[in-house]
Amino acid sequence: MLTFRARFVPGVAVMYRVVLATGLATALTGCSLGSSSITSGFAEQDSSSSLSTASLSPSFKSLGLGGDPAAHREVKVAAIDKAPSGTFEKAAPGVLADRDYSHTSLNAEMARDIINAYRKKHGLKPLKLNAELTEAAKAHSRDLAKWDRISHYGSDGSNPWDRVKRAGYRARLTAENVGTGQVSFKEVMRGWEESPGHNKNLLTPDATNMGIALVQDPKTEFKSFWTLVIAAPM
């Protein structure tokens, strides 16, 4: 039977296509994102504090990369929201009001080069920008901004694998990092490097392609919504 096994931690997701000879396994070992679908397995929570920026409050430092699920929890806000209850986090009101996002932007080629330089230091091959993965990343960042939250689930209930497939990329593996509230790509990259789960995704050995997106909305509490999708084709 062809199925999918997923590993989620807050702000991090990696999914592999695997063949299971018999049955389906569902593991819920300490996952902060709640219940899984029947074909998804969830791994341990990564609750490390990923940002050290002085302007962030202590309660937000890890929340910016999804790291403190107990601190900010919110129930579904509308009937049309299909994200499973408990799978997303919201920012406290005004937590980023004093940060300057007037120069926040994303240069995808520069982001690719920074990621590839980091991978090269670890002896790994570079990633190429991919249009389908970029579209998957954009779609998720837009959705996170619309609902002003951080999650690997979309408001339509989709997970990273669903979004990559929907974008037309036939993946053998896919990994997703998300970040909210960072002012620059260098800041979000630093947070990902310092967080074990995010870092593991950056250094996925078999990955060959990537897509990255930033959506900004000054009316939201999180302000900036970053999504990185890394994958390898079938």
% of the chain exceeding 70 in pLDDT: 66
Q: Has residue 179 got a pLDDT over 70?
A: yes
Measured distance CA(35)–CA(42) in Å, rounded: 9
**11-43 pLDDT, tens digit each:** 555 554 432 222 212 111 122 212 111 112 222
pLDDT at 222: 96
The DSSP letter of residue 176 is E
Q: Closest by alpha carbon to 216, among 138, 109, 134, 114?
A: 138
| Distance, CA of 224 to CA of 160 (rounded, Å) | 19
Tokens of 161: 């694998």
Residue with tokens 């919201």: 90
Lowest mean pLDDT, pick from 81-85, 114-118, 162-166: 81-85
Q: How confident is the model at residue 95 (pLDDT cuts 50, 70, 90)?
A: very high
Using pLDDT thresholds of 50, 70 and 90, give the confidence band for residue 160: very high
pLDDT tops 60 at residue 224 = yes
Q: Residue 111 pLDDT more than 60?
A: yes
Q: Torsion over CA of 167, 172, 173 and 178, rounded to 10 degrees?
A: -10
> Does residue 10 register a pLDDT over 60?
no
pLDDT at 123 over 90: yes
Residue pair 26/36 in contact by the 8 Å Cβ criterion? yes
